[in-house]
Amino acid sequence: MGKRNLYLKNTPLEEALSIYTDAFKSILKMQYEELPVEKSLGRILKEAVYAGCSSPLFNAAAMDGIAVISTDTKGASERTPLTLKKNKDFIVVDTGDPINFPYDAVIMAEDVIEIDDDTVQIIEAATGWQHIRPIGEDIVTGEMLLPSLHKIRPIDIGVLFSGGIIKINVVKRPEIGIFPTGTEIIEPTQTPKDGDIIESNSRMFEAMVTSYGGTAYRFPPIEDDYNKIKTAIEEAVNKFDMVIVNAGSSAGTEDFTVHILRELGEVLIHGVAIKPGKPVILAIVKGKPVIGLPGYPVSAYIDFENFVKPVMSLMTGEPTSDNNVVDAVISKRMISSLKHKEYVRVKVGQVGDKLVASPLARGAGAAMSLVRADGFCVIEQNCEGVEAGEIVKVELYRSLQEIRHTIVAIGSHDLILDLISDLMSSNYPGNYLSSTHIGSMGGLMALKRGEAHIAPTHLLDEATGIYNMPYIKKMFEEPMALIKGVKRIQGLIVQKGNPLNLKDISDLKKCRYVNRQRGAGTRVLFDYKLKQAGIDSLEIPGYDRESATHMAVAALVSSGSADAGMGIFAAAKAMQLDFIEIGQEEYDFAIPVKHLKLPEVITFINILKSDEFHVCLDKFGGYEYSQSGKLCYMDEEII
Amino acid sequence: MGKRNLYLKNTPLEEALSIYTDAFKSILKMQYEELPVEKSLGRILKEAVYAGCSSPLFNAAAMDGIAVISTDTKGASERTPLTLKKNKDFIVVDTGDPINFPYDAVIMAEDVIEIDDDTVQIIEAATGWQHIRPIGEDIVTGEMLLPSLHKIRPIDIGVLFSGGIIKINVVKRPEIGIFPTGTEIIEPTQTPKDGDIIESNSRMFEAMVTSYGGTAYRFPPIEDDYNKIKTAIEEAVNKFDMVIVNAGSSAGTEDFTVHILRELGEVLIHGVAIKPGKPVILAIVKGKPVIGLPGYPVSAYIDFENFVKPVMSLMTGEPTSDNNVVDAVISKRMISSLKHKEYVRVKVGQVGDKLVASPLARGAGAAMSLVRADGFCVIEQNCEGVEAGEIVKVELYRSLQEIRHTIVAIGSHDLILDLISDLMSSNYPGNYLSSTHIGSMGGLMALKRGEAHIAPTHLLDEATGIYNMPYIKKMFEEPMALIKGVKRIQGLIVQKGNPLNLKDISDLKKCRYVNRQRGAGTRVLFDYKLKQAGIDSLEIPGYDRESATHMAVAALVSSGSADAGMGIFAAAKAMQLDFIEIGQEEYDFAIPVKHLKLPEVITFINILKSDEFHVCLDKFGGYEYSQSGKLCYMDEEII
């Protein structure tokens, strides 16, 4: 089996982080550089900045008008107007003009009566220093303008210049080398061969380094060669302030990184009790932090946040601000091991007055779960998990503002959900659709528990042959409606040219099938069709192999890993596969009547009715939309 | 008086904005450019992006171990172990390796018994597709990765590459020309002559344009010359997507901008009912937005936020997100005109369980009020103002997280407050001190109302000759303490060399005095000294001229605009002025006992006791710190 590095420990997160940052607190120093003020936006000040001059620089007119000597205006009144001569008794001033001795007051233009070009009259005495901005009213020489470690905003740039400062010392951006490794890793521009993996983590790290105030130097992938990787790290620690090595941090046969780092320096931590993210390596080589991040993108992301970011902040001076943590109701039971702290990606929506968190895919490889997530639900190390309906803490990374303008859809999956979401964000900026796919039945249950606004569903009532409404009538007591969605063609997705010559459902006995997950409407339909045909599910090879979406089924068929799967026409068409029609079904949206007045729901219905939506459906193929957006109420007679 | 442009209107903000943006909605189009994915951080997507390939690209081992044919493993058990031969019955795989036909299951390394280099035994059958990540598990070809107008984050860069995308179309940054105008305006690098104003607004605009997703082109100041300004604007509208002209937007004699814009195009709005920010010009020239922003920095900032930002967002695709609005108790009465919507800058602190907003300087020229502010309290157009203690809406632009770690100090001003604030942010990152200066008495009142944590105070009880504690005993019923601050020398700040040969307070009758504001401890001390000397305040020329801080008084003396003012030694020294000592006083911090346990207060006390603080005080001069940080309780006997 080869040499395996089975010595991963399970250090608790907080302990690992404090061991590692403590090792650097005395040796990692911030470095500084001088910058012109106009180039300093977003940079962190080295030290407090004090004004070099006052603002205003002189006593200045605060109004357009005339400057006068206040004591000379005594006695002016409507009855006894006072006549003043230009450039002797007064001078004309605009706002901002300097007021110098002997003048000590400004009279507004509106209060001055023009007699001729050189003569005016006033009918009220001026009090000393009226309508004059005194020197230093805004900024006084020597006053502290900004404190140490302040992050420069646009307004700060303005006051620095006003206070006579043209250069400032800021914290230098730490320079961080990023080294992807792995023989199977290829650059995104290369064409992948079997077994190749497109390198993407290092580009994500590059962007994270930039976001957190560092400068990233990303290198092309290094093959799994002990000496090549060793040489690269040795050179990098001389050049950079910190080094990130990607992949090679778990315990597989080709995972050299930990051995190399033990040879070159000291490995303080290998293995942390978090999931995803366990196989992280925290090392110190020649006084520099070297971090080995795991290959799975979600693990890598979570370890970056937990370890790279706080070490960077020792060098950047950026505060490691706490995340925005909110209480939310979790929509699904989640079991978690006592052995680790788990980061579950969740979508968060506000339904009525409660925030609801719906867990997304939990695998370390599920990068899209990070893209789709609104935050993390953290299950602590000594917790066995949470029950559906329990209140959990969620670290949000999307604003509550956005979340409040989001329709939460939980239920069956269809390609049109992504399409509607896209049309919402482009045509109605600030309105969002968030969808979680757990099947029709699960969606209706979530709706009933008040965890969603709408539930996409396509459930056939076998008794009546009617879709959806019979289920809603059975399950709900509160007033409900159905927003009609689309009719879509379901069938068997088979390989191009149908090489096995499959004709109907009974032919599936002789091929490798891939099924949808339990609770999916498509699986319900498949079971119904099996029953009609008198076929036992045990007769279908692959009946237990599950896939979560129409597109995932099509991908397995397309790759040759399965021969057939049930799904919608649009998925087969998107993958250029053949399709055997089984029937048309109605894919609609169940909604409590009370949510119909929400502006985002009105937007949603408008999109269903729009020409733009229908044009896209025609492009997808296999959809019929004559009823799209129509409302049916539970209390109405259903025909 | 010259030609004045007195025709400023008073259009309500929302009306002005909708008139102006409506004019552009059909003509301002987003422009696009193609970028490599790795350069797209923070950019806005033109259109939805669909995956070009699946991820994983193939069925892949999810564990290190061996790949087997599941049907061949049937019957394996502890009693009947199954022997498998390498490269026939199984192949060795690491996580991520491809699993190809005929293999369809992975057994974890931990569950495999090695017999020799080519032989293993297993004691449990494998089920089909176990420990295999199916092709497309994360991303399926053709699936929507990101919707239109999405802003690219680091994780998005990762999935774009994983999904086979290397280039994307993003919204082009609008190019915005910025033209400062004014004959009195000089570049920050030039040495100012009398009447010169250092140009700083355009640099603030430049940074704001960058922050909001545009590219700024800033030009050197143009003098007040009708034709020069006209030519610059004419050329600019051909070159840029938007033009900002600064100053020249009010109604002074040299305010050409509005006339030029009327000549070149159409002025839709001139004058909006907001304060600060009234004299804004919203024009359209050759289909391009041209905005004239006022010269006062706060007006310019508020107009930029209200008008430039929303027009930019038509071109950038950035959502104009609502601000974070919170409820806060206002600590001071504010009267506002019915004629305009007023933006009052406020500091915000959390004291106990309430948020408290303390108004800062309201002048349009008070740029430092923007630097110091945590948000705006907006007083609507038809509101006469708010009473102290009333609940107001505050638009925050600092995080609540930071606000919760901030000590709120309201009361008397001293230079050491800035110093402590700086030492807090540099030595205890994430802890802040926010101070508002309304005089000793006002501070104690605010403390009593629960609007501050501490009140800096230096109030002499004439009866006992004791500072501060007698006032606290008199005013408070709840348990109180005094954190001892510093002893500081108060006296008369006079011009260098003391040209008027002032010796004591009675000499002030013959000079131009500048006083502190009502409620300031220094003014109380001055009144006490006048009384002792038997002098009527009417005998002091300038007794009614008020200044808000020690440094502001020193600045007026330094400029020759006043001959003397009372203040602390450190202020005189900072401005290199002469000083006539009048006496030493005790500047301390009143605090309710319940706040003493706050971590930020403990930090504050530690700083008062620190050597670093004392070294800085020695540099300032005029301070004595032997008691600094000591606690005295109200119930103790005060000696």
Asked if A403 contacts A355 with a C-beta cutoff of 8 angstroms, the reply is: yes
Interface check B398 vs A, CB under 8 A: no
Interface check A223 vs B, CB under 8 A: no
Q: How does residue A638 score in pLDDT terms, banded at 50, 70 and 90?
A: very low
Report pLDDT for A2.
Answer: 41
- Check CB contact under 8 Å for B195 and A98: yes
Report pLDDT for B253.
Answer: 57
Q: Which of A21, A197, A304, A558 to mutate to test the interface with B (most CBs of B within 10 A)?
A: A197
Which two three-digit tokens encode residue B439?
């005089």
Report pLDDT for A274.
Answer: 95
Which two three-digit tokens encode residue B7?
């025709």
- Check CB contact under 8 Å for B147 and A418: yes
Chain region(s) in chain B for CATH 3.90.105.10: 32-55+138-171
Interface check B101 vs A, CB under 8 A: yes
- Residue from the list A64, A127, A324 with its beta carbon closest to the beta carbon of B252: A64
Q: What is the CATH number of domain B449-633?
A: 3.40.190.10
Report pLDDT for B16.
Answer: 96
Cα gap A302→A278, rounded to integer Å = 10
Q: Could you tell me which residues come within 8 angstroms of residue A18 by beta carbon, excluding any fewer than 6 positions away?
A: none
Which chain B positions have a beta carbon within 8 Å of A203's beta carbon?
37-38, 157-158, 161
- Check CB contact under 8 Å for A141 and B197: no
CATH topology of domain A454-633: D-Maltodextrin-Binding Protein; domain 2 (3.40.190)
Cα gap A557→A566, rounded to integer Å = 10
Q: What is the CATH number of domain A324-440?
A: 2.40.340.10
Chain region(s) in chain B for CATH 2.170.190.11: 60-133
Q: How does residue A1 score in pLDDT terms, banded at 50, 70 and 90?
A: very low
Q: How does residue B361 score in pLDDT terms, banded at 50, 70 and 90?
A: confident
Chain region(s) in chain B for CATH 3.40.190.10: 449-633
Q: Is the peptide bond before A599 cis (omega within 30 degrees of 0)?
A: no
Chain region(s) in chain A for CATH 3.40.190.10: 454-633
- Check CB contact under 8 Å for B149 and A429: yes
Report pLDDT for A246.
Answer: 94
pLDDT digits (tens, 9 = 90+) for A393-451: 999 988 888 899 999 999 998 989 999 999 998 888 888 999 988 889 999 999 999 99
- Check CB contact under 8 Å for A574 and B200: no
Asked if A440 contacts A426 with a C-beta cutoff of 8 angstroms, the reply is: no
Interface check A230 vs B, CB under 8 A: no
pLDDT digits (tens, 9 = 90+) for A101-142: 889 999 999 899 999 999 999 999 998 889 998 888 899 998
Task: Measure A384 CA to nearest chain B CA, in Å.
Answer: 23
Q: Find the closest chain B residue to A558 by CA distance.
A: B135
Which two three-digit tokens encode residue A165?
């400062």
User: Residue A592: exposed, middle, or buried by beta-carbon count in 10 A (0-12, 13-18, 19+)?
Assistant: buried
Axis-axis angle for helices A257-264, A226-239 (nearest 10) = 50
CATH architecture designation of domain B324-441 = Beta Barrel (2.40)
User: Which residues 126-145 on chain B approach chain A with CB closer than 8 angstroms?
Assistant: 127-129, 133-145
Cα gap A44→B418, rounded to integer Å = 18
Find residue B9's DSSP bridge partners: none
Report pLDDT for A527.
Answer: 92
Interface check A335 vs B, CB under 8 A: no
Q: Could you tell me which residues come within 8 angstroms of residue A474 by beta carbon, excluding any fewer than 6 positions away?
A: none
Alpha helices by DSSP H, B134-277: 154-162, 201-211, 226-239, 257-264
- Residue from the list B64, B166, B430 with its beta carbon closest to the beta carbon of A319: B430
Chain region(s) in chain B for CATH 3.40.980.10: 13-29+173-316
Is the pLDDT at A301 greater than 90, yes or no? yes
- The backbone torsions φ and ψ at residue B451, rounded to the nearest 5 degrees and listed phi first, read -105, 0
Q: How does residue B3 score in pLDDT terms, banded at 50, 70 and 90?
A: very low
Cβ atoms within 10 Å of A2's Cβ, excluding its own: 10
Q: What is the mean pLDDT of chain A?
A: 92
Cα gap A503→B527, rounded to integer Å = 104
pLDDT digits (tens, 9 = 90+) for A342-387: 999 999 999 999 999 999 888 888 899 999 999 999 999 888 889 8
Report pLDDT for A252.
Answer: 60
Q: Is the peptide bond before B599 cis (omega within 30 degrees of 0)?
A: no
Is the pLDDT at B322 greater than 70, yes or no? no
Asked if B122 contacts B107 with a C-beta cutoff of 8 angstroms, the reply is: yes
Cα gap B540→A384, rounded to integer Å = 78
pTM comes to: 0.91
Interface check A53 vs B, CB under 8 A: yes
Handedness of CA A493, A496, A499, A501 (dihedral sign): positive
Axis-axis angle for helices B415-427, B599-609 (nearest 10) = 110
- Residue from the list A135, A204, A549 with its beta carbon closest to the beta carbon of B155: A204
Asked if A152 contacts A40 with a C-beta cutoff of 8 angstroms, the reply is: yes
Handedness of CA B304, B308, B312, B318 (dihedral sign): positive
Report pLDDT for A605.
Answer: 97
pLDDT digits (tens, 9 = 90+) for B14-50: 999 999 999 998 888 899 999 999 999 999 999 999 9
Axis-axis angle for helices B309-316, B13-25 (nearest 10) = 30
Of B402 and B579, the structure prediction assigns the larger pLDDT to: B579
Task: Measure B557 CA to nearest chain A CA, in Å.
Answer: 10
pLDDT digits (tens, 9 = 90+) for A135-151: 888 999 988 999 999 99
Which CATH superfamily hosts domain A32-55+138-171? Answer: Molybdopterin biosynthesis moea protein, domain 2 (3.90.105.10)
Which chain B positions have a beta carbon within 8 Å of A57's beta carbon?
192, 196-198
Q: Characterise B520 by phi-psi region: left (phi > 0), alpha (psi -120 to 50), beta (else).
A: beta
Q: For strand A175-180 and strand B406-411, is the pairing parallel, antiparallel, or unpaired?
A: unpaired
Which chain A positions have a beta carbon within 8 Å of B100's beta carbon?
194
Q: What is the mean pLDDT of residues A287-294?
A: 96
Q: For strand B266-270 and strand B631-633, is the pairing parallel, antiparallel, or unpaired?
A: unpaired
Amino acid letter for position A153: R
Interface check A559 vs B, CB under 8 A: yes
Q: Which of B339, B407, B343 is nearest to B375 (CA)?
A: B343
Domain B60-133 has CATH 2.170.190.11: yes
Report pLDDT for B1.
Answer: 40
Residue A531, H or E segment: helix A521-533
Q: Find the closest chain A residue to B59 by CA distance.
A: A561
- The backbone torsions φ and ψ at residue B193, rounded to the nearest 5 degrees and listed phi first, read -100, 175
Cα gap B377→B388, rounded to integer Å = 13
Q: Which of A5, A95, A424 to mutate to test the interface with B (most CBs of B within 10 A)?
A: A95
Alpha-carbon distance values, B8 to A284, A538, B279, B280 (Å): 66, 83, 7, 9
Interface check A189 vs B, CB under 8 A: yes
Q: How does residue B2 score in pLDDT terms, banded at 50, 70 and 90?
A: very low
Amino acid letter for position B255: D
Axis-axis angle for helices A415-427, A599-609 (nearest 10) = 110
Judged by DSSP in three states, A160 sits in helix
- Check CB contact under 8 Å for A148 and B422: yes
Interface check A211 vs B, CB under 8 A: yes
pLDDT digits (tens, 9 = 90+) for B209-255: 999 999 999 999 999 899 999 999 999 999 999 999 998 666 565 67
Q: DSSP label at A38?
A: G
Q: How does residue A275 score in pLDDT terms, banded at 50, 70 and 90?
A: very high
Report pLDDT for A4.
Answer: 47
Task: Measure A154 CA to nearest chain B CA, in Å.
Answer: 5
Size of the A and B interface in Cβ pairs below 8 Å = 355
Chain region(s) in chain A for CATH 2.40.340.10: 324-440
Least confident of A353-362, A478-487, B276-285: A353-362
Q: Which of A422, A424, A368, A614 is nearest to B47 (CA)?
A: A422
- Check CB contact under 8 Å for B547 and A134: yes
| DSSP state letters, B345-404 | EEEEEEETTEEEEEE----TT-HHHHHH-SEEEEEPTT--EE-TT-EEEEEE-S-HHHHH
Q: DSSP label at B307?
A: I
Amino acid letter for position A352: G
Chain region(s) in chain B for CATH 2.40.340.10: 324-441
User: Residue A597: exposed, middle, or buried by beta-carbon count in 10 A (0-12, 13-18, 19+)?
Assistant: exposed
Q: What percent of chain B has pLDDT over 90?
A: 74
Is the pLDDT at A253 greater than 90, yes or no? no
- Check CB contact under 8 Å for A319 and B429: yes
Judged by DSSP in three states, A588 sits in strand
Q: How does residue A639 score in pLDDT terms, banded at 50, 70 and 90?
A: very low
Q: Which of B296, B292, B435, B281 is nearest to B362 (CA)?
A: B296
Report pLDDT for B250.
Answer: 61
Is the pLDDT at B5 greater than 60, yes or no? no
pLDDT digits (tens, 9 = 90+) for B66-102: 999 998 999 999 999 999 999 999 999 988 889 998 8
Interface check A147 vs B, CB under 8 A: yes
Report pLDDT for A248.
Answer: 65
Amino acid letter for position A516: R
Which chain B positions have a beta carbon within 8 Å of A161's beta carbon?
188, 198-200, 203
Alpha-carbon distance values, A440 to A446, A519, A525, B358, B568 (Å): 10, 7, 11, 53, 75
pLDDT digits (tens, 9 = 90+) for A443-479: 999 999 999 999 999 998 888 989 999 999 999 999 9
Which chain A positions have a beta carbon within 8 Å of B41's beta carbon?
207, 210-211
Q: Could you tell me which residues come within 8 angstroms of residue A539 by beta carbon, excluding any fewer than 6 positions away?
A: A509
Least confident of A41-50, A283-292, A539-548: A539-548
Is the pLDDT at B256 greater than 60, yes or no? yes
User: Which residues 271-300 on chain B approach chain A with CB closer than 8 angstroms?
Assistant: 295, 297
Q: Find the closest chain A residue to B46 by CA distance.
A: A426
Q: Could you tell me which residues come within 8 angstroms of residue B375 by beta carbon, excluding any fewer than 6 positions away?
A: B323, B326, B345, B346, B348, B357, B394, B395, B396, B397, B398
> CATH assignment of B13-29+173-316, given 3.40.50.970, 3.40.980.10, 3.40.630.30, 3.90.1150.10?
3.40.980.10
Q: How does residue B4 score in pLDDT terms, banded at 50, 70 and 90?
A: very low
Cα gap A136→A134, rounded to integer Å = 6
Which chain B positions have a beta carbon within 8 Å of A208's beta carbon?
154
